[in-house]
Amino acid sequence: MAMTLTEKILARASGSATVSVGQTVLVNVDVLMTHDVCGPGAIGVFYKEFSKSARVWDPDRVVIIPDHYIFTADEKSNRNVDTLREFANAQGIKYFYDVIDDAKGKWRFDPSGGPLQCRHGGRFAGVCHVALAENGHTRPGEVLVGTDSHTCTAGAFGEFATGIGNTDAAFVLGTGKILLRVPETMRFMLVGSLQPGVMAKDVILHMIGKIGCDGATYRAMEFAGEGVATLSMEDRMTIANMGVEAGAKNAIFPVDDKTLAYVEKHKLTGAETHYEVLAADADATCHSEHQVDLSAVVPVVARHPNPGSVSPVAGCADLKLDRAYIGSCTGGKFSDFEAFAAIVRGRKVAIETFGVPATPEIYRRLCSETIAGETLWDIMSDAGVQLTVNAGCAACLGGPGDTFGRMNRPLSCISTTNRNFPGRMGDIKGLVYLASPATVGASAIAGKFADPREYLQQPMTARRQQ
């Protein structure tokens, strides 16, 4: 029977020759990821439902990445990181990317020194969805579940990846299994390639604008076609990341040479890393097929109050802007900062602008890679962007009041992040506009919504310093 990529993976993981849409299957999980805001709850349910002395099914398949509420003096947030550490110690979990280096220590954030004072240790990995990939936990053909809706990001690597709640995560912790309904697949055929100044973020916002923010509910979004090869792995991560903003259960890309090169480069040492590359059957039955011409995509903005309210940036000239923000799993990767820095280089931001690298590794690259001889970090700093060296989710989801870049007043903010429902970045009356890093850069310089194609300057890519 012909199967989609999602069906192939769920068949493999459930030990079945085939699966069909609507069937509920018991799936073996390859990796469970959790973080500081959902981990403590999942751990609580795990001990309550199994027993106080329960053991996780496989400590090497549990990945714990504190990233949400880290650089805050909020006591409960600090406590939650300590809860993760106690659990990792008790269960012998190797892949715990702790904020501090002392396995017996307590995490207490010290805000003195400000955002340019590094407050984390050497194991800290930053935003989970980017950290998973950087640290070798995303592999083709596997099943990755995580207590975060943007877990679908890992579909970029040709695996089934989806977000789950704490109770489901507790069940996985104890059994290594999860009940999943096989979703229908919506296939998106990508053709052509992106114009300069247009980014992967524009592609996914364009699609969500077409199908609506519940247009893929309960379904898999599968990307295919010759256009896929033109997209970098970070581009694919951006697109898969926002599948959930259309309601999708998972979003998935085919595996090609770029995927394998990335996965090999970031391969875990000394761990079980066998994986099976699976491919969709061309004649598999899909819910629907959609053609997306990448060369026809233009810079777009998702207006308040949901990610489906998409219009070309050119049509937003009448809207006021107070702030710009670059960061998050969606828009805080290296290539996101590269596109942003190429535009703000040699210019000054006209509105307050905040930047948060997703991971310490990205921060390191921002300080070592250059455009026209200047590091990306210095370019942004010179342009007046307020930066922090402490990578994390930061203000993407508001967070505690002292979170870097949080909207503590009712402002209008253009952001490279993923959600713009009321109150998302803090103040309940704040307005969030989602756009690409290039559009956010151009708009920060203009002080109003601006088309990045009018702000392009050479060179557009970064180089490693010799």
Partner 1 sequence: MSDIIRGKAFVVGDNIDTDQILPAEHLTLVSTDPEEYRELGKAAFSGLPSDYATRLVPNGEAPCEYAVVIAGRNFGCGSSREHAPIALGAAGIKAVVAESFARIFFRNCLATGELYPIESRDRLCEAISTGQEVEVDLDAEVLRLADGSRKFSLRPMGEARAVVAAGGLFEFARRTGLVSGK
Q: Which residues lie near partner 1 (CB under 8 A)?
A: 24, 26, 37-38, 40-41, 44-45, 48-51, 68-69, 74, 76-77, 80, 83, 147-149, 151, 163-168, 170-171, 174-175, 179, 213-214, 217-218, 244, 247, 249, 305-306, 397-401, 419, 421-424, 428-429
- Compute the least distance from the CB of residue 138 to partner 1, in Å: 18
Q: How many residues does the chain have?
A: 466
**Cβ at position 179, least distance to partner 1 in Å:** 8
Cβ proximity to partner 1: between 183 and 437 the closer is 183
44 vs 384 by CB, closer to partner 1: 44
From first CA to last CA, the distance across the chain in angstroms is 53
Q: Considering the complex, state which of residue 259 and residue 418 has its C-beta at the smaller distance from partner 1.
A: 418
For residue 214, the minimal CB distance to partner 1 (Å) is 4
Looking at beta carbons only, is 365 or 424 nearer to partner 1?
Answer: 424
Toward partner 1, which CB reaches closer, 50 or 378?
50
How far apart, in Å, are the Cα atoms of 126 and each of 54, 225, 368, 389? 29, 32, 18, 11
CB of 225 to partner 1, least distance (A): 26
Structure tokens that stand for 291 in this block = 């053609």
Least distance CB 419 / partner 1 (angstroms): 6
Q: Which is nearer to partner 1, 131 or 395 (CB)?
A: 395
- Which residue reads 């059957």 in tokens? 281
Measured in whole angstroms, the distance separating CA 448 from the mean position of its chain's CA atoms is: 26
372-376, long-range: CB < 8 A, 24+ apart: 372/345, 372/459, 374/345, 375/465, 376/337, 376/338, 376/341, 376/462
Residue 208 CB neighbour total at 10 angstroms: 27
Q: Which residues share a beta bridge with 145?
A: 32, 162
Which residues, 6 or more positions from 381, have their beta carbon under 8 angstroms from its beta carbon? Answer: 387
Least distance to partner 1 from the beta carbon of 313, Å? 22
* Nearest residue (CB) to partner 1, 57 versus 456: 57
**Residue 284 buriedness (CB in 10 A; 0-12 / 13-18 / 19+):** middle
Q: Which of 218, 235, 228 is nearest to 153 (CA)?
A: 235
Asked if 228 contacts 253 with a C-beta cutoff of 8 angstroms, the reply is: yes
CB of 333 to partner 1, least distance (A): 20
